[in-house]
Copies of this chain bind each other. A is one copy, B any other.
């Protein structure tokens, strides 16, 4: 399948990925991981949820940890340009036969809940509470010094379909892996905000979340995190890395939270704002697409992912199918 062209004037204007809500079984353990170890800043916490932001962010939260019976991903959140884009999104998803609902969410204005055709729960909003800048409050920096949420990466049972769908509302492909034999997409990286990706898809049993990712200033921050995790009881939570991906040129590290949710720590991608940026094509047989250098990924990295709430990972929700209201 040829990579879709950029959509010049999409139905609604998604600015960037924004936040994720993770179902976690033990709030204290997750807080120790995300706040004390990674260095995210707590912006609100109560008995059922903890809200966190990264150091450079002014929006209220990029991660919500919600007390849950099971490890799940409750929703992936995206920010749109203006309120009118929310209404346009409502029209767009409705027209696709996908479930839509306006939901109440703390710290946010109007929120549109829906799912993509595979069943991934999504929410869109234009306004979230804005907090005072802390990016120059250097006394707050610790852990890996996470600056901002960078992207989501999901397993998809049909990457061609996932890419076509997100492209239809303006996500552009920056890099992709093609199976030379079948000419089907194996994986693709898609962006709105001008980096390599806001959202990526990889072939696999799904939909499931492969990982969320945080942007950090330099590779040395990642090495600092490795030193810290290796000596504070988290050594087995280090899954893969450090290394460099061929795709995206990222200097990366993959770690697992106490529930097995995977986080990538990441730096070194590149600016992609040009609408005529040619997507980079990688051959599925080229091992350097995944690992420009570094140890081979372990089996777990290829196989494990977080299940989305309300959808069985081996039972992808198709476009025409009735699904659980979000």
Contact = CB atoms under 8 A, between A and B. Distances in A.
Nearest to A271: B148
A256 interface: no
Interface of A: 8, 15-16, 56, 58-59, 79, 81-82, 127, 130, 133, 135-139, 141-142, 147-148, 193-194, 217-220, 223-224, 226-232, 235, 238, 242, 244, 246, 249, 251, 268, 270-271, 273-278, 280, 288, 292-296
Given A231-B292, A288-B235, A274 B136 contact: no
A229 B243 CA distance: 13
Given A82-B275, A148-B270, A194-B194, 5 more contacts: A135-B270, A142-B142, A148-B271, A193-B271, A223-B244
B137 A231 contact: yes
A122 B12 CA distance: 31
A292 B139 contact: no
A59 B277 CA distance: 9
B235 A293 contact: yes
* Max chain B Cβ within 10 angstroms of own Cβ: one of A141, A242, A280: A242
Given A270-B147, A275-B81, A277-B58, A293 B138 contact: no
A265 to B, nearest CB: 13
A230 B268 CA distance: 16
A249 B137 CA distance: 11
Which 10 A-B pairs have CB atoms at the shortest separation, nearest pair first? Answer: A295-B295, A230-B293, A138-B227, A218-B218, A226-B293, A56-B270, A194-B194, A138-B228, A230-B292, A138-B231
A235 B289 CA distance: 13
B270 A136 contact: no
Contacts of A292: 136, 227, 230-231, 235
Contact of A275 (B15, B220, B295): B15
Contacts of A275: 15, 81-82
A152 B294 CA distance: 24
* Max chain B Cβ within 10 angstroms of own Cβ: one of A138, A219, A251: A138
A195 to B, nearest CB: 8
Contacts of A242: 242, 294
Contacts of A220: 218-220
Contacts of A16: 271, 273-274
A232 B139 contact: yes
A270 B146 CA distance: 12
B223 A251 contact: yes
Contacts of A268: 217
A35 B300 CA distance: 39
A87 to B, nearest CB: 14
A56 B15 contact: no
A229 B202 CA distance: 28
A278 B130 contact: yes
